Structure formats: C-alpha cells, structure tokens
Structure 1
C-alpha cells in the first residue's frame, strides 16, 4: 500500500510542481518527476511526516519534485 500512496502523492506533487515551475511535460514524465520528488522529499522530511501527518508528506513531495525539476533544467539544458 505505501507504494500506491507514493505514486498517487507523487503524481499530484509532480503535477503541481510542473505547473509552479512552468514546465510542460507529458504525463509519464510528470509522474516520474513527482515520484522522484516524493522519494527525495520523503527522505528529507521523514521526521516531520511522523510528527505531523500526511500534509507534510505532500509538502515534502512537492519540494522534492521542484528540486528535481530545477536540477533537470539546470544540467540538461532544457527550459
């Protein structure tokens, strides 16, 4: 079940992050960005997730997805 939740939260975070960063990607890329961001954000904010619940899990996923987009744009030459 945590994998399914990771994909759902990651997809939502990827969608919001791509809109915030004004990045136009297809659906699989958006989901991949969101899931990668959820992994990164989950690792960074795991302690807060245990203390405060799912809301910080989404915030962590969103911040992680924005970080992935920023790194991708910075080092791939895409805008």
Structure 2
C-alpha cells in the first residue's frame, strides 16, 4: 500500500504541478503528490470503491492541486515564518 501511495503520489504530483504551472524539484513534486494522494484518498474513498484504481489517480491529482493552491495562497505570498 505504501509503494502504491508513492507511485500514484509521484505521478499525481507531476501532473498537478504541470496543471498549476508550478516549477518544483522532484522531492517537492513527490511530496505534493503524496500529500495530495492522502487528501484525495480520504475525500474520494467512495469513488475509489465504485470506479476502481483510476479514481485513486483522479483523487490524488485533485488533492495535489488543492495543496498547491493552499501553498500559493497562504505560504508563498506571505513567505515562510521561521
């Protein structure tokens, strides 16, 4: 299950960063994708059971797009607060 999450997350992160026109290195892209896979997996668990594995990719992409939007809206514009 973890390997599946990494593979789907990496693919989703790549697609989401291209859709949102974000330039990110591979580590950030994978982190976005894996985070998106977690969010999308939770939100679209019912869809996954109905439509199969393809819904997992759709959910992961939607979750990654949401994460990118949140990052661009709240973190990137305001700058990190360390």
Query: What's the TM-score bracket when you normalise by the shorter of the two chains?
Result: over 0.9
Gaps of 5+ in 2: none
RMSD: 0.9
After superposition, give the CA deviation of every residue in 1:26-70 in whole Å (9 maximum; x if it has no partner).
000000000000000000000110111011100000000000000
Give TM-score scaled by structure 2 length. 0.92
Query: What is the Cα deviation at residue 21 of structure 1?
Result: 0.3
Note if 1:3 corresponds to 2:2. yes
- Within-5 A mapping of 1:37-56: 37-56=36-55
Aligned to 1:25: 24
Aligned to 2:33: 34
Q: Which has the larger radius of gyration?
A: 2
